[in-house]
Every structure is written in structure tokens, then in C-alpha cells.
Amino acid sequence: MAKLKLSELTETTATNPNDLLYVVQSNTSKRIKVSNFLSDLDNPTLKGNISIGSTPETITSPGPIALTTPISYLNVDGVGGVLTIANGAVGQTKILVTVAAAGGQYTLTTNVAGNATVQFNNVGDTATMLYTNSKWFVIGGTANVTY
């Protein structure tokens, strides 16, 4: 056990399920494993501003959409073309936002549920997608979706 003040402990940026956390409960010092601490997180309630992921990917030409960022900005060029998206993880979300448009159109047809075509050609066109049942489902947005 560390014999330092809490303010003197070194900071960690990652934990393991068996790591211990220090808790003061009813004026009594206790410890709890990280796995037990997080076990009651079935239905969390979030309040205030919520940030999603890190720096969004910016797509400036047709091609693959990265799955490593939850948000992709689309800069639709004057020519347009086809976007592709690989299989995701069950429950993964992906948000596509058109932030610039120069007259072309980006079309997404690969891996979209219902053999849908999703078209992005105007600033403000968006698509929020959820990966489940081996496909990407468009669950919201303003992009033109045709089946």
C-alpha cells in the first residue's frame, strides 16, 4: 500500500480489472477493484455536454471511410464518387457530416442495410449509422437515402 498523500501519487492513464481504487465511504477508507466499480454501469445517465471521440476524419476524395473515428467530415469535390465502409463492430456508430461541397456527389452503397444508397452533395447532409446484423443501418440524418 502506498504511504503517500493522494495528491502525491503518480497518475495512471490506464487500468486493469484487478487494479484497486481508493474510496472513502461513510468516513471509512476502503478499496474497490476496477471491475467491481464498473460492474454497475449498465444504464448510465449522462448530463451536460457529451463529446464523441477524438478529431474527426476528413474525407476529401472518394474511397474508404475510417472506422477508427466515430465522426467523418466529407468535403465533396466537384467530381464526386463512391465511398466504401467496411464491417464494423456490433453496436458501433458512425456519423458522416458534409462540411464542404463543390458540385459533386459522394455515394455510399457498400455494406448498407436494405441495399440502400446514401447520397451526400450539400453542406449539412448527414448520416448517423449503426452497425448491427452484419450491416450498417442508417438511423438518422439528412442525407438522401434510397432503397
| pLDDT of 2 higher than 60 | no
Higher pLDDT, 137 or 40: 137
How do residues 26-84 score in pLDDT, each as one tens digit? 989 889 998 888 887 778 888 888 888 789 999 999 999 999 999 999 999 999 999 99
Mean pLDDT of 18-33: 88
Contact yes or no for 115/108 (Cβ under 8 A): no
Whether residue 1 is contained in a domain is answered as: no
Whether residue 70 is contained in a domain is answered as: yes
pLDDT score of 44:
80
Whether residue 112 is contained in a domain is answered as: yes
Whether residue 12 is contained in a domain is answered as: no
Mean pLDDT score across all residues of the chain:
92
Helix %, strand %, coil % for the chain, to 5?
A: 5, 45, 50
pLDDT score of 42:
78
Whether residue 111 is contained in a domain is answered as: yes
| pLDDT of 101 higher than 80 | yes
pLDDT score of 3:
67
Whether residue 84 is contained in a domain is answered as: yes
Whether residue 107 is contained in a domain is answered as: yes
CA distance 140 to 132: 15
CA distance 65 to 97: 12
CA-atom Rg of the chain in angstroms: 22
Whether residue 36 is contained in a domain is answered as: no
What b/e sequence results for 23-62 when a residue is b if at least 16 CB atoms lie within 10 Å of its CB, and e otherwise? eeeeeeeeeeeeeeeeeeeeeeeeeeeeeeeeebbebeeb
| pLDDT of 129 higher than 70 | yes
| pLDDT of 141 higher than 80 | yes
Closest to 84 in 3D by CA, of 112, 125, 122:
112
The domain of 139 spans 57-146
The pTM of this model reads 0.73
CA distance 71 to 77: 19
User: How many domains is the chain built from?
Assistant: 1
Query: Which CATH number goes with the domain that contains 64?
Result: 2.60.120
pLDDT score of 24:
85
